[in-house]
Structure 1
Amino acid sequence: MGAEGKLLTEKHNMEIENRLEDQHSELPRRGTSVFKTCSNGLNALSGIGILSMPYAVSQGGWLSLILLLLVAILCWYTGMLLHRCMDGRPLIKSYPDIGEEAFGYKGRAIISIFMYLELYLVATGFLILEGDNLEKLFPTMSFRVCGLRIVGKQGFVLLTALVILPTTWFKSLGVLAYVSAGGVLASIILVGCVMWIGAFDGIGFHERGKKVNWGGLTTSISLFTFCYCGHAVFPTIRSSMKETRQFPKVLLVCFILSTITYGLMAITGYMIFGEYSKSQVTLNLPTREISTKIAIYTTLINPITKYAIIITPIANAIESKMPFHKRSRPICIIIRTSILISTVLVALFIPFFGYLMAFTGAFLGVTGSLLLPSLCYLKINKAAQRFGFELIIIIGILLIGPFIAVMGTYNSMRQIVNHLQKP
């Protein structure tokens, strides 16, 4: 009787919980609308990667645009896998939560490491980008610091760091600030400026380029993958929705529109500059044209406004490991300042925007956007382990992904080392 009574009690408790869940699901859910979620998703995918689109095509040739489309489809699919991992599991709110659901604490730790390292390198890329573009606008400007004369890109990196520094001391930065609203507008303005320069500023679209450059395809894939590294924020964006079941539609719209934007920049820039495309398209633009200044100033605004938001999760993770009584404001300021100083040192030591972004896309992008979502989905969803079309696609991703990651990482590291060795 005791066992039967226990079973009846458990059954009664389950009925009560189910009834409460049903009542809770009937309550109006607060959250963002589909339109606002689309804006957030587009902002997450519309980053500094657009600057490297012509360079990416120049590395792989015209046929590399097929790889752009393929990477977009695969990253959209793995974004859908993250959605399915969260479906019916209201306690999962973020990407690390998915890792913990699949593989426990180790899964959370691995995904967190990849997330924070990716954010760190993106923040470093911001500083390199600022230094490159400011040097293009003011090529003869120099600075004196403690009696030392600093010229060119290095001086602008330090100047940018000083401007950014006070913004890193604020702690009240929301998660959605990750995807500031200016991102999409900046991308549209940038594409428009490049098209204007080609059509009306006397340069034209005369470069034919190469059909394919086999040696540069891994660099192209790495840069394309970097452009679609929004998986770290997809779960957060989905959790913020009023109707989470609409997220697949939002994801599809975001990937279609962002791919159109990236494709336009890649085709237009490569037709204008061809094999002479630099790691940032803004470095190719004629300095005296007004459209160039608009493009560069638009490009410069975003990193300054987003840097603090990018490093906040890293700082919060460090602070969370400290005893509560030591989390004073001066300590928080020291932590954030130290992170900024370290990114400045990396930006000064490895001032190669294209190679750093290729490394980020190959090593971190492929892992965080292709491999980990597939592994987590297979672990969480047992039905996906049955042989079928879905399993074949996932196995294909798990087989191709490591090859791209290894080759892309090797090539980007080799290019960085070769440039460091040059006199």
Structure 2
Amino acid sequence: MVIVVSGIGILSVPYALSSGGWLSLTILLLIAAAACFTGFLIRKCMDTDPAITSYNDIAAHAFGRKGRVIASLFTCLELYFVATGLLIMEGDNLHKIFPNFSLKLGSMALDGRHSFIVLAGLVILPSVCVNDLGVLSYVSAGGVISSLIIVICVFCDGAINGVGFHGKGRLLNLSGMPTTVSLYTFCYGAHAVFPPIYKSMRKKNQFPKVLLISFVICTITYMTMATLGYLIYGQNVQSQVTLNLPTEKVSSKVAIYTILAGPIAKYALTIMPIATTIESRLPANYQDSKSISILIRISLLAISVVSAAVLPSFQLVASLTGAILVVAVSFLFPCLCYLKIFKVYMNWGFELVSIVVIVLISVVVGVLGTYSSIAQTVKHA
């Protein structure tokens, strides 16, 4: 659960903080609280019917076939772009250390960034062939440790390498708030993976405790990284804070090398719901085929490698995914499904007020964040 919630968003939170100013940290806390709340709603929806095993099943239980189709579309797109972002992150950071590296595949020559995207895909390949979430949970421990190592290395750059903590920054920047909110929201886009994790648990009654502890750990990590990055680099912080690290320093190389550990398990967990959705559409005699399942996952990996090579930047993927897809999947849909299944709209109370507030804010964030992301892309095109 920790590796799913604490993902590549950790690299972008310093940039998000620099865009919105110090007071935007309160928004990060509110987003974390809302995301944890909607995680509880997902669990409650699943408990209403033992046949519910996925996020799409929840939507179908609430709104029928149309609900399943819409939820399937949004979750698959969200998880696909998150997986693509993992590969973009790998390519950008490894290219920073080895700027002169390149590959030749037959008559086709690849520059450094694209070469590392391909190599990252090859490193991740074995993990997508594993169907057992229990096995992936042990591999995930390396991803959790890598996140902590990155935080420590950024701290070392400020404390030991002579950079210092001089970036005072701004208290509030309203013009950059849409970007800030989109990137903060991107950090909590794991809800589509909650149902299979919940179903895989032997002690399902411990899910609320697992969810809460995971969100607390990840939010503390996000806030620590955001604060350190902004204090050290100020307004010069890049969309991935590791790109600010000096490559000649040992701590910088350690940070960038350890980035490779996260996607090994994170990628496989991320694309699993997409693969499951595709498998459910196959003829009955192919749905339980392990070879077909592995082929689907390898195909998804290959497609996302190509997409990562084509898309222009990590920031564009993260902000657009956060504004459109994560807002819908992690905040809007769980609230609407819960309202429909439990009919809490018939009785006003704290629960209903909380859900209505989350729905309204989700719509506003989605509209403003999408507009801001597209405007920035056009500006820098």
| SS of match in other structure, 2:51 | coil
Q: How far did 1:81 drift? A: 1.6
Say whether the 8 Å CA contact 1:56–1:223 is kept in structure 2. yes
Cα 1:390–1:304 shift into 2, 3 Å: closer
Provide, for residues 357-412 of structure 1, a one-character-per-residue CA deviation record: whole Å limited to 9, x for no partner.
11111111111111111101111112453122222221111212111011112222
Answering whether residue 238 of structure 2 is matched by residue 278 of structure 1, we say yes
- The answer to which of 133-142 and 234-243 deviates more is 234-243
Answering whether residue 254 of structure 2 is matched by residue 298 of structure 1, we say no
Answering whether residue 148 of structure 2 is matched by residue 200 of structure 1, we say no
Q: Distance in 1 between matches of 2:204 and 2:309?
A: 43
Say whether the 8 Å CA contact 1:55–1:270 is kept in structure 2. yes
Cα 1:44–1:304 shift into 2, 3 Å: closer
Identity %: 51
Q: Distance in 2 between matches of 1:198 and 1:234?
A: 36
Q: How far did 1:308 drift? A: 4.0
Say whether the 8 Å CA contact 1:356–1:412 is kept in structure 2. no
Q: Which residue of 2 aligns with 1:264?
A: 224
Q: Which residue of 2 aligns with 1:361?
A: 322
Alignment partner for residue 116 of structure 2, among 142, 156, 163?
156
| SS of match in other structure, 1:68 | helix
Q: Which residue of 1 aligns with 2:76?
A: 116
Taking the TM superposition and a 5 Å limit, the aligned residue runs for 1:250-261 are 250-261=210-221
Cα 1:316–1:73 shift into 2, 3 Å: closer
Answering whether residue 342 of structure 2 is matched by residue 381 of structure 1, we say yes
- The answer to which of 278-287 and 325-334 deviates more is 325-334
Taking the TM superposition and a 5 Å limit, the aligned residue runs for 1:304-315 are 304-315=264-275
Provide, for residues 229-266 of structure 1, a one-character-per-residue CA deviation record: whole Å limited to 9, x for no partner.
22112233333444434433332222222111110000
Alignment partner for residue 132 of structure 1, among 92, 113, 132?
92
Root mean square deviation, CA, Å? 2.4
Q: Distance in 2 between matches of 1:394 and 1:359?
A: 24
Q: Distance in 2 between matches of 1:252 and 1:326?
A: 38
Answering whether residue 329 of structure 2 is matched by residue 371 of structure 1, we say no
Q: Which residue of 2 aligns with 1:174?
A: 132
| SS of match in other structure, 2:22 | coil
Q: Distance in 1 between matches of 2:196 and 2:284?
A: 26
| SS of match in other structure, 1:144 | strand
Q: Which residue of 1 aligns with 2:367?
A: 406
Q: How far did 1:313 drift? A: 3.4
Q: Which residue identity does 2:142 align to in structure 1?
A: G
Provide, for residues 304-361 of structure 1, a one-character-per-residue CA deviation record: whole Å limited to 9, x for no partner.
4443443343234334423356677876666445433332232122131122111111
Q: Which residue of 1 aligns with 2:66?
A: 106
User: TM (normalized to structure 1)?
Assistant: 0.82
Answering whether residue 19 of structure 2 is matched by residue 62 of structure 1, we say no
Say whether the 8 Å CA contact 1:285–1:292 is kept in structure 2. yes
Say whether the 8 Å CA contact 1:49–1:223 is kept in structure 2. yes
Answering whether residue 77 of structure 2 is matched by residue 142 of structure 1, we say no
- The answer to which of 129-138 and 382-391 deviates more is 382-391
Q: Distance in 2 between matches of 1:131 and 1:221?
A: 25
Cα 1:268–1:166 shift into 2, 3 Å: closer
Cα 1:73–1:313 shift into 2, 3 Å: closer
Q: Distance in 1 between matches of 2:5 and 2:17?
A: 19
Answering whether residue 293 of structure 2 is matched by residue 322 of structure 1, we say no
Q: Which residue identity does 1:318 align to in structure 2?
A: I
Q: Which residue identity does 1:125 align to in structure 2?
A: G
Which structure has the larger Rg? 1
For structure 2, the 5+ residue unaligned runs are none
Cα 1:157–1:250 shift into 2, 3 Å: closer
Say whether the 8 Å CA contact 1:133–1:300 is kept in structure 2. no
Q: Which residue identity does 1:174 align to in structure 2?
A: D
Say whether the 8 Å CA contact 2:7–2:266 is kept in structure 1. no
For structure 1, the 5+ residue unaligned runs are 1-40
Instruction: State the aligned residue count.
Output: 378
Q: Distance in 1 between matches of 2:350 and 2:364?
A: 22
Q: Which residue identity does 2:120 align to in structure 1?
A: T
Alignment partner for residue 308 of structure 2, among 333, 347, 353?
347
Say whether the 8 Å CA contact 2:32–2:219 is kept in structure 1. yes
Q: Distance in 2 between matches of 1:73 and 1:308?
A: 26
Cα 1:211–1:377 shift into 2, 3 Å: same
Q: Distance in 1 between matches of 2:230 and 2:67?
A: 41
Q: Distance in 1 between matches of 2:257 and 2:332?
A: 36
Q: Which residue of 1 aligns with 2:3?
A: 43
| SS of match in other structure, 2:169 | coil
Q: Which residue identity does 1:68 align to in structure 2?
A: L
Q: Distance in 2 between matches of 1:84 and 1:62?
A: 35
Q: Distance in 2 between matches of 1:49 and 1:198?
A: 21
Q: Distance in 2 between matches of 1:331 and 1:93?
A: 20
Q: Distance in 2 between matches of 1:385 and 1:177?
A: 44
Q: Which residue identity does 2:347 align to in structure 1?
A: R
Q: Distance in 1 between matches of 2:358 and 2:113?
A: 39
Cα 1:246–1:308 shift into 2, 3 Å: closer
Q: Which residue identity does 1:116 align to in structure 2?
A: C
